[in-house]
């Protein structure tokens, strides 16, 4: 002898088992496609400058970064920042004094600012080397860039 309520529960479970996959598949077919929610924090171009006068390499990197940003934007991603990173500064200062190099670094900064790009000049002094007055020079650099 079967209980009357038992048949209703059994039929409800069967009906749910049949309808659930249909309902789930229709939601995925007709649901709105979500766009990527990822943001690209930064795109960085690492460059090696030939000298302090080498603005062409910086300009070339800027063009690359703009194209890369557009490619990500076209795919629906937001790019938050663009950045150029050079080799360590002490490797391309050449025979210039640090004070003479300030004018070149200010120009690098102007180029980067015009294009809304961050610029990193790398390590200023070689490892394990101290230079008298470098703190004052760094302060001048920060105030002028």
In tens, the pLDDT along 91-141 reads 999 899 999 999 999 999 999 999 999 999 999 999 989 889 999 999 999
3-class DSSP state of 17: helix
Q: Do 89 and 132 meet the contact criterion of CB atoms below 8 Å apart?
A: no
Q: Would the pLDDT of 142 be above 80?
A: yes
What are the distances in angstroms from CA 121 to CA 27, 69, 145?
Answer: 52, 22, 12
Q: Do 69 and 115 meet the contact criterion of CB atoms below 8 Å apart?
A: no
- Determine how many CB atoms are found less than 10 A away from the CB of residue 140: 15
The pair phi, psi for residue 50, each rounded to 5°, is -80, -30
How many Å apart are CA 134 and CA 138, to the nearest integer?
6
Domains of the chain, by residue range, sit at 1-33, 39-144
Q: Do 54 and 60 meet the contact criterion of CB atoms below 8 Å apart?
A: no
Q: 50: pLDDT confidence band, cut at 50, 70 and 90?
A: very high
Q: 7: pLDDT confidence band, cut at 50, 70 and 90?
A: low
Q: How does pLDDT run across 56-77, given as a tens digit for each residue?
A: 999 999 999 999 999 999 999 9
Q: Would the pLDDT of 12 be above 90?
A: no
- Determine how many CB atoms are found less than 10 A away from the CB of residue 126: 11
Q: Would the pLDDT of 2 be above 90?
A: no
Tell if the pTM clears 0.75, that is, is over it.
no
The pair phi, psi for residue 74, each rounded to 5°, is -60, -25
Q: Would the pLDDT of 4 be above 90?
A: no
């Amino acid at each position: 002898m079967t209980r009357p309520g038992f048949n209703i529960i059994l039929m409800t479970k069967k009906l749910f088992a049949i309808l659930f996959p249909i309902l789930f598949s229709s939601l995925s077919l007709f649901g709105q496609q979500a766009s990527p929610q990822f943001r690209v924090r930064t795109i960085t171009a690492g460059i090696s400058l030939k000298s302090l006068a080498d603005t062409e390499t910086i300009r070339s990197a800027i063009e690359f970064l703009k194209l890369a940003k557009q490619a990500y934007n076209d795919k629906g991603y937001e790019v938050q920042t663009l950045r150029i990173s050079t080799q360590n500064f002490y490797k391309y200062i050449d025979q210039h004094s640090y004070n003479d190099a300030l004018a070149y670094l200010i120009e690098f900064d102007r180029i980067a600012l015009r294009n809304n790009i961050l610029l990193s000049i790398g390590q200023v002094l070689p490892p394990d080397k101290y230079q008298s007055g470098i703190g004052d020079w760094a302060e001048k650099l920060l105030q002028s860039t």
